[in-house]
Amino acid sequence: MKPNTDDWLEDTRTSYDTVAASYADLTRHILDESPEERAALALFADLVRAQGGGQVADVGCGTGRVTAHLRRLGVDAFGIDLSPGMIEVARRDNPDLRFVLGSMTDLALADASITGLVAWYSLIHVPDDEIESVFAHFKRVLRADGPLLLSFHVGDEAHLKTEGYGGHPMKVHVHRRQNAQLITWLNDAGFTVESHRTLTSAESKLGGMILARRRATDVQG
């Protein structure tokens, strides 16, 4: 049965406001246990430098752990998240970094204003019928050939998550998707997929990672 996701943005915001502090405590060191994800982020950082540097958006940044990791890799990263609670914790834990409220469904960034974009397990609450719009925003804000790194949970269904991160109540649908489906959506949106893989790690029992670029031929599209 298809989940009712009409209020998914508000449900996601409220849920992560509720769990923000616990989420930070429980996830702060996950990347330390995830060498393949660290390697993917390092490659992404290399691609950003190869483009001459510039700003990178960590969209759906949560409490800022990936934003901070990218900064340690020498990337000029900043974070965007829907949840004021998550942004508050991100700023508390990373006072030298920039975090702003925002939604991937309506990114308040200028066209072609960033060199790279990361969506680290942040697409998982976005319904299928919103993905096209989200990827259109990603394409719009990225420069030509700018790298895009996605990570997500792999599977074929969605389920309602009612509790998480320290036992706090939540109401979010978690969408698991196959690499092939996301690759199709990315191709349709104007991206060229360069690599993809499925893996098991501390980040996800079964996770996917896709590295793509914004097609230069679609700059005016």
**Domain membership flag for residue 193:** yes
Average pLDDT over residues 128-153: 97
Provide the domain count of the chain. 1
> pLDDT tens digits for 84-129?
999 999 999 999 999 999 999 999 999 999 999 999 999 999 999 9
Q: How far apart are CA 104 and CA 206, in angstroms?
A: 24
**Domain membership flag for residue 1:** no
**Domain membership flag for residue 40:** yes
**Domain membership flag for residue 3:** no
**Domain membership flag for residue 119:** yes
In the predicted model, is pLDDT for residue 190 greater than 90? yes
**198 token code pair:** 């499925």
**Domain membership flag for residue 2:** no
CATH of the domain at 75: 3.40.50.150
What string of DSSP letters covers 99-154? EEE--TTS----TT-BSEEEEES-STTS-HHHHHHHHHHHHHHBPTT-EEEEEEEB
* pLDDT value of residue 6: 57
In the predicted model, is pLDDT for residue 2 greater than 80? no
Average pLDDT over residues 179-203: 96
> pLDDT tens digits for 22-79?
999 999 999 999 999 999 999 999 999 999 999 999 999 999 999 999 999 999 999 9
Q: How far apart are CA 190 and CA 213, in angstroms?
A: 9
Cβ neighbours, 10 Å, residue 184: 12
pTM here is 0.92
Share of the chain above pLDDT 70, in %: 95
* pLDDT value of residue 165: 78
**Residue-number span of the structural domain to which 25 is assigned:** 8-218
> Beta strand 147-153 with 158-164: parallel, antiparallel or unpaired?
unpaired
Cα pseudo-dihedral 183, 113, 105, 59, rounded to 10: 70
